[in-house]
Structure 1
Amino acid sequence: MADSASSLGIPDAPPIEGARHLHSGKVRDLYELTEGPYAGGLLMVASDRISAYDFVLDTTIPDKGEILTRMSLWWFDQLADLVPHHVLSTDVPAAVRGRAVVCERLEMFPVECVARGYLTGSGLADYRATASEGHSVCGIALPAGLEDGSRLPEPIFTPATKADLGDHDENVDYDAVVATVGADDAARLRELTLQVYARAEAVARERGIVLADTKLEFGRRSDPSTGSRQAREIVLGDEVLTPDSSRFWPADQWQPGRTQPSYDKQIVRDWLTSPESGWDRSSGEAPPPLPAEVVERTRARYLEAYELLTGQRW
């Protein structure tokens, strides 16, 4: 794992007193707490790192980790009546205060649970690739004539496999989920994913934002009394409904048939692929540092999404 993380440009995770580093992803660092009331639990830290085109950039986005953490916590509260979540406490070591949570250990399902209400991204690619067979995404038939950004007749569950660090998730059909986790769990994951999306889509729409799609991760909570699989409930984990895991678009600028303006790191992607950056995406070389103006515009975009969705000032 260390070699893989290093090759992607992920820096070594900083030591944290009372915690043991377990793993680093493109944005998050995971630790095990070794002392205190939650010893044995997990400390999930959101860094200010930003990734693009399978590289973690040398440049960070100030406050990004705290924005993502605050947004996830806000959404967990909005969804609490639908599904329990993994957060145990926000009382974390001073070094990561504001951008970390203490969370419980879960047996994570090896499935990315994706809900789509609009056609774009890999869903659009699947739709176009299946044109000769009648148009579908993850085995779900869709009508002809849809464009980039089109609203779907109804939200759909489009799962993906969890890829190793540095690889791409691969879209799969529902039968593949059944084969991986069993029929009962597959049905429950689909149900919860679509329920969460429906709730969040309505909340976002009230605030002038289109929630095009979102990726969720679920796990099982152990029952300390029996350890029985049947007695363990499904829990929402990781981050939830942030610009890193979801596509948010300004509703007043939504226009099918083109790439939509978005509340995420599209500003970074656009600059990296522009002549100004001087970077050749096919070269295999790491991207160059971001200009200050790109950093500030990206930070402002994340902040705007946070403030519009939560109604809270930064």
Structure 2
Amino acid sequence: MTLDANGDSPPSLYEFDAAGALLSTQLPLPRKSGKVRDLYDLGETLLVVSTDRISAFDYILPSGIPDKGRLLTQMSAFWFDFLGGRHHLISTDVPASLSGFDTGPLEGRIMEVQKAQVVPFECVVRGYLEGSGWREYQESGQICGEALPAGLRQCDQLPEPIFTPATKAERGHDENVSIQRMISDLGRETAEALREKSLDIYQRASRHARSRGILIADTKFEFGTIGDELVLIDEVLTPDSSRFWDASIYQPGAAQPSFDKQFVREWLSQCGWDKNSPPPALPDDIIRQTAAKYREAYERLS
């Protein structure tokens, strides 16, 4: 063990839980932290570190999902390459500027990206009727001002994929809004470009996923601007940003099993937690099942 000048052990750069999940990184660089990712400013570029943290019901849980961050990073890298076009990813290799640090825990879970001015909307595309879209449809027959046919069931495929933007919330849930709200805030040209790009990406990704036996029920994209150009940023088409369903067992009319943190949400809903106090640790079997679903989604899609 290396000691600092005072004879003390230097602070650890990484925090792991008992299962080996990486919960936090503390590199000595300017840092911002979200629910899952730690973001570091490298000067000309940014370093995005996907930890193994997992959130549910707007809480970050005390238990992580081992290797979740690596799977999310590798899945995003796959999709950026598959989709082509303009995006912010530069490399998934550890930058040379970090050569003086212990970077072993970062391997496979980082993206060095270009800096971009983030567009303040989530670009949501829905191909199937579920989640907040299903709730809104039940109340009004619409989603974000988009009228839909009467008589649709939960998880029905929509006649055509629809673009349903949402405002980005720092805390709590994003708010679904109409395209008119986006036009008002960003201008018609930018809003229409975001809708067109989002629908195109969704449709191309959905064709590939379907060929691998997976339905992309809905997903959310983030875009930013570099100069005057709209660029795809953040993660893309992962189980944290999308609903993936197994095409072989798809049956509309009820909720579908999905390749995400479904086991976590179900256990938290049934364990007696009030969803207003610090959440409990996850049992080992829920951690294992959740990790297996993330890995299966990655392996089947990539």
Give the TM-score range, shorter chain.
Answer: 0.7 to 0.9
Structure 2 counterpart of 1:287: 279
Q: Which runs of 4+ in 1 moved over 4 A?
A: none
Counterpart Cα distance in 2 of 1:67 and 1:172:
31
Structure 2 counterpart of 1:118: 128
Counterpart Cα distance in 2 of 1:247 and 1:90:
25
Unaligned residue ranges in structure 1 (runs of 5+)? 1-10, 34-38, 223-231
Once the 2 structures are TM-superposed, how far is the Cα of residue 129 of structure 1 from its aligned partner? 1.4
Counterpart Cα distance in 2 of 1:65 and 1:185:
32
Counterpart Cα distance in 1 of 2:24 and 2:281:
20
- Aligned: 1:140 with 2:136: no
Counterpart Cα distance in 2 of 1:129 and 1:29:
38
Quick check: 2:23–2:53 contact (8 Å CA) kept in 1? no
Once the 2 structures are TM-superposed, how far is the Cα of residue 40 of structure 1 from its aligned partner? 2.5
Aligned AA (2:66): P
Structure 1 counterpart of 2:41: 32
Structure 2 counterpart of 1:220: 225
- Aligned: 1:58 with 2:68: no
Structure 1 counterpart of 2:17: none
Task: Tell me the secondary structure at the aligned position of residue 273 of structure 1.
Answer: helix
Quick check: 2:216–2:243 contact (8 Å CA) kept in 1? yes
Tell me which of 265, 283, 298 is aligned to 1:306.
Answer: 298
Structure 2 counterpart of 1:242: 238
- TM-score, normalising length: structure 1: 0.85
- Aligned: 1:190 with 2:195: yes
Quick check: 2:214–2:244 contact (8 Å CA) kept in 1? yes
Task: Tell me the secondary structure at the aligned position of residue 117 of structure 1.
Answer: strand
- Aligned: 1:251 with 2:260: no
* Partner deviation per Cα, 1:14-71 (whole Å, 9 max, x = no partner): 3225x321x11110111101xxxxx431001101000011110000000000000000
Once the 2 structures are TM-superposed, how far is the Cα of residue 279 of structure 1 from its aligned partner? 1.6
Percent sequence identity over matched residues?
52
- Aligned: 1:174 with 2:179: yes
* Partner deviation per Cα, 1:230-277 (whole Å, 9 max, x = no partner): xx2110000000000000000011111111000000000111111xx2
Aligned AA (1:294): I
Aligned residues: 273
Seen in structure 2, the aligned counterparts of structure 1 residues 13 and 59 have a Cα distance that, compared at 3 Å, is closer
Matches for 1:16-165 after TM superposition, within 5 Å:
16-17=27-28, 19-21=29-31, 23-33=32-42, 39-80=43-84, 83-92=85-94, 93=98, 94=103, 95-130=105-140, 135-164=141-170
- TM-score, normalising length: structure 2: 0.88
Unaligned residue ranges in structure 2 (runs of 5+)? 1-21
Quick check: 2:129–2:154 contact (8 Å CA) kept in 1? yes
Counterpart Cα distance in 1 of 2:75 and 2:255:
25
Structure 2 counterpart of 1:36: none
